[in-house]
Amino acid sequence: MKKTTIFLLIIFFSGIVASGQEMTAYKLYNNKGKAIDYSKLVRQASEADVVLFGELHNNPICHWLQLELSRSLYDVKKQDLVMGAEMFESDNALLISEYLSGLVKDKNFESEARLWSNYKTDYKPLLQFARDSSVVFVATNIPRRYASLVNRNGFEGLEALDEEARSYIAPLPVPYDPELPGYKSMLEMMEGSGGHGNDNLPKAQAIKDATMAYSISRNISAGKLFLHFHGTYHSDNYEGIVWYLKQYKPDLKIVTISSCEQTNLESLAEENNNKADFILVVPESMTKTH
């Protein structure tokens, strides 16, 4: 083969490698739109009382980074790390405790725990990490049947529950601000899509936020760090869980992470600016987990 041909092939394949190196799976920004590295996220998160990681439920980068952040924070906090998630309902607390202690095997746990369809790919690694590291993992969310009750009958529907049922939700009466932009936008989106406004819809969202916040507040103490996973809408713009945590424990130091997709990762889009303390940006072309 001629030297000229070899040289051209080297240039060609070097270009492919260089192009591949430019592909970016994610970027992190702070709330001012400045690109930051992962180590800064870990450093600031490790100094908080609560870290709220808002995810896109079907995004593999979100789930990968959640697991990596769990490992990084465990390296710092050890048994002072507490984990929890929206995807597990509070009336399954005993079942999760039995699973983490090894009393219940995977097969039994997965058949009884009302798990999300993407549990095995996206949330099982988190639960297994907690089990293998002897980290407490809290089922923070309201049982879905009670959220449905609020969607039908408002907060008043919860008053018919007995004492045991109420132990799985935030204390009544639940504080509620219908003027919070996140709750208002839920109604506007429904009306904009041709549906009828249902004042109970944002209340059903609020009872989830309140119960998750209350669960976190009950499982945090001095020196502990609670790392919580949930859909990004539950903490975006410092609302949702953040607002309720401030009602229950106003002195907590909270770090929030929002997740979003963009076509271009080179800068933070204006609509994603200031959504959280840290914004995880992933390409719109990223594959989905379900």
pLDDT tens-digit profile of 143-156? 999 999 999 999 99
Q: What is the SS3 string spanning 178-239? A: CCCHHHHHHHHHHHHCCCCCCCHHHHHHHHHHHHHHHHHHHCCCCCCEEEEEEEHHHCHHHC
The pLDDT assigned to 153 comes to 96
Residue pLDDT, tens place only, 88-133: 999 999 999 999 999 999 999 999 999 999 999 999 999 999 999 9
- Amino acid letter for position 6: I
DSSP H or E segment with residue 110: helix 106-112
Mean pLDDT of 205-227: 97
Mean pLDDT of 1-10: 42
The pLDDT assigned to 190 comes to 75
Is the model's pLDDT at 8 over the cut of 80? no
Query: CATH 3.40.350.10: does it fit domain 25-283?
Result: no
Token pair recorded at residue 16: 């492919």
Reading across the β-sheet that carries 81-89, which strands appear in turn?
A: 35-36, 27-30, 278-283, 254-262, 50-55, 225-231, 81-89, 136-141
Model pTM score: 0.91
Distance CA 254, CA 271 (A): 22
